[in-house]
Amino acid sequence: MELLLLLLAGSLIFPLAAPAREITNACTSQANVFQHVNGTGMHLTLHHPQSPCSPAPLPSDLPFSAVIVHDEARIARLASRLAKTPSSRPTSLRKSTGGAHLGDSQATSVPLAPGASVGVGNYVTQLGLGTPATSYAMVVDTGSSLTWLQCSPCVVSCHRQAGPLYNPRASTTYAAVPCSAPQCGELQAATLNPSACSASGVCIYQATYGDSSFSLGYLSRDTVSFGSGRFPGFYYGCGQDNEGLFGRSAGLIGLARNKLSLLYQLAPSLGDSFSYCLPTSASPGYLSIGSYTPAEYSYTPMVSSSLDASLYFVSLASMSVAGSPLAVSPSEYGSLATIIDSGTVITRLPTAVYTALSKALGAAMGGAPRAPAYSILDTCFKGQVSKLRVPAVDMAFAGGATLKLAPGNVLIDVDESTTCLAFAATDSTAIIGNTQQQTFSVVYDVAQSRIGFAAGGCS
């Protein structure tokens, strides 16, 4: 990494010409379709990774083992981040580093899709950048702050992505950020890595992850297009060396609580909240920033944690199977800090809670034939979730918000003949994963420090 940093630091900005690595994006024609929702603004549609509407679809038989690999990498990344010195978050979203000021009454949204279409277990959407705007398939990440994408000429290396690389030279509003800019100094809090400076005085960022994936490049500024809105002065990373488990996405959209996140930069224009519905393969989803309808949700408070001020912590209070509380001490639910995360597929529970859940579910499944364990998933059954009678499972949070899980939120098909409990045990940080969040509207109201849930959000 140090050698790569020196290579960039000694280079002139974009000194080389390199061919963009392009592949056909089968859903480009649908990527620019925006839906008006509830009269409050625009929503971007999210699609399941194996949906035909998802960008650059991969074969529908993408092995679940690949999802597990990405999920384990995600856990390693979060663990690495939590092991570092906590970053401080801004005291107000109103002091954002960029964005036009259009008032707080607006909301803008984009379609959201599962990321199997680009070879990742997260969810993806299309984000526009530059003037004229070009759209890119980006992973939506509540656990990251800095938004970055691959840029030509890729001085070192770029992975193959869905569609062309972003070309800064083609945008009339692009600007490299100098090392003297305050945003360069904010990279430490956003990435937990210090910034560097190129020979030409351009700020260099390093975004590293626990699975050894990383993005390295120039901190840049340009106009971002999100839904129906265009927002000038958006700060992001223009990646010149991007390696690891990013699939064929163009990069990441950071939605954590940090000055450089997309949320904080658009907050002066749109407001202090964002919401999403993570779709299944049968329904579209969305990601929205801005106003929402409070009465539609039940809420749990965001929990403050000294581990990392940029992540979204909650308090899981209890769980039940078929209406009966799990046979575990209530104190076990709070034995570990708990994060809600858009990018983790399999929910991680404290070991005692998971053991009780596995036992209760196995008993409630009656005579359903058991199947061997699949990787980290050790409670498995023969058949497909759609063919089995799955008991009701509820997850209750502090404040009274409850996720009443449908069968597809409880079990996950790992192949054509096996389905498994979509939970696993952990002795570190607990995580509420995206399988349990699917089809719910989830709102992150940062201004009021609360997270809300509403059923039927993707319908």
Q: Is the dihedral of CA 325, 328, 330, 334 positive or negative?
A: negative
- 341 carries an active-site annotation: yes
Find out whether 9 and 218 touch, Cβ atoms under 8 Å: no
- Report helix, strand and coil shares of the chain as percent, to nearest 5: 20, 35, 45
Active site residue: 71, 141, 222, 241, which one?
141
Contact 281, 385 (CB under 8 A): no
Residue of 71, 272, 308, 341 with catalytic role: 341
Pairing mode of beta strands 347-350, 423-426 = parallel
Q: CB within 8 A of 390, min separation 6: which ones?
A: 365, 407, 410, 411
Angle, CA 149 vertex, CA 140 and CA 24 arms, to 5°: 90
Cβ contact 324:422 at 8 Å: no
141 is catalytic: yes
Please list, in sequence order, all residues whose beta carbon lies within 8 angstroms of the beta carbon of residue 19, skipping any fewer than 6 positions away: none
Q: Where are the beta strands (DSSP E) in 6-86?
A: 34-37, 41-47
Give the span between the Cα atoms of 285 and 370, in whole angstroms.
33
Residue 217 CA to residue 146 CA, distance in Å, equals 12
**CA 11 to chain centroid:** 32
Catalytic positions:
141, 341
